[in-house]
Copies of this chain bind each other. A is one copy, B any other.
Amino acid sequence: MEIRPATDSDRDAVWNIFHEVVAAGDTYALDPNISREDALAYWFGPRTHTYVAEQSAIGIAGTYILRPNQSGGGSHVANAGFMVAASARGEGLGRAMAEHCLSEARQLGFRAIQFNYVISTNIAAIRLWQDLGFKIVGTLPDAFRHPEKGYVDVYVMYRSLVP
């Protein structure tokens, strides 16, 4: 597997994964009916580093973004988002991208990474982030309306990158 910066020719593959993940509506607070144009404008936005994970057998199976979470006095903290194709889950792709992300964030000079919106029902993601040193630093009560479970809590997770 190779993880590398996304290029324009990856846009179709990224959109396929993005659309699948967001249409499910249970892990991202995005409009499940978001258009391809808006989705790609978001995922390839200004100040956003976009990566893809490519497997020799099946092609692009995951994508992630890394960007400053805020501007001005908050720009030393990164934000990241990860998406894995349903067909490629449970094979360590998320972990590989997360480790790549930690390394990239350090190289870009970020001092911390913050996830603003980790839905509490997304157990696999939470376990992975905790395993990689992220801590739950905030709990937003009933902040997400889950398509099956109704209102559920959302976590803010944070990991320092400096000693």
Interface on A for B, CB 8 Å cutoff? 22, 25-26, 28-32, 34, 70-77, 111-112, 114, 116-117, 119, 137-147, 154, 156, 158, 160
Contacts and interface: CB of A to CB of B under 8 A. Distances in A.
A138 B141 contact: no
Contacts of A22: 72
A105 to B, nearest CB: 14
Contacts of A154: 74
A30 to B, nearest CB: 5
Contacts of A116: 116
A6 to B, nearest CB: 22
A142 B160 CA distance: 9
Contacts of A147: 73
A28 to B, nearest CB: 7
A26 B72 CA distance: 10
